[in-house]
Amino acid sequence: MMLSRAKLIRLMAFDVDGVMTDGGLYLSDSGEEFKRFNSLDGHGIKMLRASGVEVAIITGRTSRCVELRAHNLGITHVYQGVERKLDAMLDLLNKLKLSRDAAAYMGDDVVDLCVMRHVGLSICVPESPRLVREHSDYVTQLGGGRGAVREACEMIMSAQGTLDAQLATYLK
């Protein structure tokens, strides 16, 4: 059932802290925020985009480093400082003229449940609280900031039959 849902995905949206990162917040004495992103996750996002799936970020925090990371990965749909994540997802679906069944969201905490319960495919990391795991269609084996995003991207591409073509470009 999860793979049949993954076949329909045209939009994959990610939370940042705890999903694209390990969830740690690094603050300098001057208040500058630092985040650690996983390069394997980033390449998974690039392959997913190349396979025809739109990618978005929807996060409650606002950080310049998220803006820079999104730009580096070619992600143009970036919603930061969002209090009501479902409103952001619905806005994005409207802009892209997609149904809820065509959207996936990957979160890690209870604040993500509002979106996860209203999309076609919900994904979380293993560190997520029990309630979040119970409401997820797929719980990654790898942790947030440690390959979970790549795992989710590859799962979707595999279900859609595009993963082998993406990987084949590296075997020439």
> Which residues line the annotated binding site?
15, 17, 108
**Residue 130 is encoded by which pair of tokens?**
């029990």
Task: Give the number of other CB atoms < 10 A from CB of residue 38.
Answer: 20
- Nearest CA-CA partner of 117 in 145, 85, 94, 158: 85
Q: Please state, in angstroms and as integers, the Cα–Cα distance from residue 155 to each residue in 45, 63, 95, 150, following that order.
A: 12, 28, 25, 8
Q: Which residues carry a binding-site annotation for substrate?
A: 17
Q: Please state, in angstroms and as integers, the Cα–Cα distance from residue 138 to each residue in 62, 113, 120, following that order.
A: 27, 13, 12
User: Is the distance from CB of 5 to CB of 12 less than 8 angstroms?
Assistant: no
Q: Which residues carry a binding-site annotation for Mg(2+)?
A: 15, 108
Sign of CA dihedral 61, 46, 148, 95: positive
